[in-house]
Amino acid sequence: MSVRALLQPRFLWLSLLGVVLIVFPYVHGWPLFDGSIRNLGFFTLEITEFRTFNATMFGVWLLVAMSMNLLTGTSGQISLGHAAVVLVGAYTTGILFDEFGVPLALAVILAGVFTGVVGGLVIGLPAARLSGPYLAIATFSLIITLPQILKLNGINSWTNGALGIGIRPVEPPNLVNDFLGAVTRDAVSLNERQWIYYVTIGTAVLMTVLLWNITRSRIGRAFVALRDSEIGAEQMGVNVPLYKALAFGISSFYAGIGGGLFFVVQTFVAPESLRFNDSILFLVAVVIGGLGTILGSVFGALFLAFQAEVISNLPDWIPGLNNVRDFERLSPVIYGSLLIATILTFPRGLAGIVQSLLSLRRGGGIGAMDLPALSAIRGTLRNLSASLPGNSDADDSGKKE
Amino acid sequence: MRITKMLWVLGILLACTMLFLAACGDDDGDDVDPTDTPDVTEPDATEPPDGVDVPGITDTEIVLGTHTSLTGPIAAYSIIPTFVGSYFDYINETEGGVNGRTITYLVEDDQYSPPLAVDLTRKLVEQDGIFALFNALGTPNHLQVIDYLQDQGVPDMFAATGATEWVKDPAARPLTFGSNPNYTGEFLVAGKYISDTFPGGKYGVILQNDDFGADGLVGVKLGVNDTVELVGEEPYEVTDPDLNSQIDRLRAAEADVVVIVSTPLLTANAIKHARLDLNWDVPFIISAVSMNELTMLIAGEDVIEGTIGAVATFMQWQEDHPGIQKHLEILEFAGIDRAGASVLTLYSQYVAEMMIETLSRAGDNPTRQGLIDAAESMTDWFCSVCLYAVNFSASDHDPSQTVALGEYKGGRIEITGPAYTFEGIAVADLTVDSLEEVDLPEGALP
SS3 content of chain B, % helix, strand, coil (to 5): 45, 20, 35
Q: Which segments of chain B have a pLDDT < 50? A: 1, 16-47, 51
Residues A120 and A15 in one domain: no
Q: What angle do CA B110, B173, B367 make, to 5 degrees?
A: 85
Distance CA B354, CA B288 (A): 19
Distance from CA of B69 to the nearest CA of A (A): 9
Distance from CA of B36 to the nearest CA of A (A): 11
Query: Do A291 and A69 meet the contact criterion of CB atoms below 8 Å apart?
Result: yes
Residues A37 and A140 in one domain: no
Which residues of A are less than 8 Å from B126 in CB distance?
48-50, 53
User: Is there a common fold for B61-181+317-400 and B184-311+404-438?
Assistant: yes
A344 lies in some domain: no
Query: Do B135 and B67 meet the contact criterion of CB atoms below 8 Å apart?
Result: no
Count of CB atoms situated within 10 Å of the CB of A150 = 23
Q: Which of B22, B75, B238 sits opposite A272 (nearest CB)?
A: B238
Which residues of A are less than 8 Å from B114 in CB distance?
270, 272-274
Distance from CA of B29 to the nearest CA of A (A): 9
- Which of B20, B26, B88, B109 should we substitute to test contact with A (largest number of A Cβ atoms within 10 Å)? B109
Residues A155 and A229 in one domain: yes
Residues A15 and A57 in one domain: no
Residue ranges with strand state E in A234-365: 268-269
Distance from CA of A331 to the nearest CA of B (A): 8
Residues A132 and A198 in one domain: yes
Distance from CA of B438 to the nearest CA of A (A): 34
Distance CA B190, CA B261 (A): 11
Position B167 scores a pLDDT of 86
Number of domains, chain A: 2
**Cis upstream peptide for B418 (omega within 30°):** yes
| CATH 3.40.50.920 for domain B184-311+404-438 | no
Distance CA A67, CA A64 (A): 5
**The residue type at A129:** R
Beta-bridged to residue B309, according to DSSP, are B286, B406
* Final residue in a domain of this structure, among A276, A293, A310: A293
Residues A60 and A38 in one domain: no
- Beta carbon pairs, A and B, within 8 Å: 172
Distance from CA of A49 to the nearest CA of B (A): 6
Chain A residue with minimum CA distance to B117: A308
- Which of A15, A26, A144 should we substitute to test contact with B (largest number of B Cβ atoms within 10 Å)? A26
Which residues of A are less than 8 Å from B108 in CB distance?
308, 312
Q: In this predicted model, what pLDDT tens digit does every residue of A377-401 receive, in sequence order? A: 566 666 666 665 554 444 444 443 3
Chain A residue with minimum CA distance to B25: A187
Which residues of B are less than 8 Å from A5 in CB distance?
5
Position B26 scores a pLDDT of 33
Position B230 scores a pLDDT of 94
Position A329 scores a pLDDT of 63
Q: Exposed, middle or buried: residue A363 (CB in 10 Å: 0-12, 13-18, 19+)?
A: exposed
Pick the CATH number of B61-181+317-400 from 3.40.50.12160, 3.40.50.2300, 3.40.220.10, 3.40.50.300: 3.40.50.2300
Which residues of A are less than 8 Å from B70 in CB distance?
312, 324, 327-328, 331
Chain A residue with minimum CA distance to B20: A23
Which residues of B are less than 8 Å from A166 in CB distance?
147
* Final residue in a domain of this structure, among A293, A310, A342: A293
Residues A253 and A169 in one domain: yes
Residues A35 and A89 in one domain: no
Q: What angle do CA B94, B99, B102 make, to 5 degrees?
A: 55
Query: Do B151 and B41 meet the contact criterion of CB atoms below 8 Å apart?
Result: no
Chain A residue with minimum CA distance to B71: A328
Instruction: Name the residue range of residue A25's domain.
Output: 7-48
Query: Do B212 and B163 meet the contact criterion of CB atoms below 8 Å apart?
Result: yes
Residues A185 and A216 in one domain: yes
Q: Do A267 and B147 touch (CB under 8 A)?
A: yes
Q: Which residues contact A232 (CB under 8 A, 6 or more apart)?
A: A225
Q: Is B413 helix (H, G, I), strand (E, B) or coil?
A: strand
Residues A58 and A42 in one domain: no
Q: Which segments of chain A have a pLDDT < 70? A: 1-7, 31-46, 312, 314-331, 362-401
Which residues of B are less than 8 Å from A144 in CB distance?
237, 239
Chain A residue with minimum CA distance to B116: A308
Position A1 scores a pLDDT of 53
Which residues of A are less than 8 Å from B5 in CB distance?
1, 5, 11
Backbone angles phi, psi at A175, to 5 degrees: -55, -45
Query: Do A196 and A24 meet the contact criterion of CB atoms below 8 Å apart?
Result: no
> Distance of CA B320 to CAs A302, B177, B409, B440, B442, Å?
54, 32, 19, 17, 12
DSSP A366-389: HHHS--HHHHHHHHHHHHHHHHST
A160 lies in some domain: yes
Q: Do A188 and B24 touch (CB under 8 A)?
A: yes
Q: Which of B18, B78, B126 sits opposite A50 (nearest CB)?
A: B126
Which residues of B are less than 8 Å from A309 in CB distance?
119-120, 123
Chain B residue with minimum CA distance to A2: B5
Q: Is A165 helix (H, G, I), strand (E, B) or coil?
A: strand
Count of CB atoms situated within 10 Å of the CB of A13 = 10
What are the domain boundaries of chain B?
61-181+317-400, 184-311+404-438
A260 lies in some domain: yes
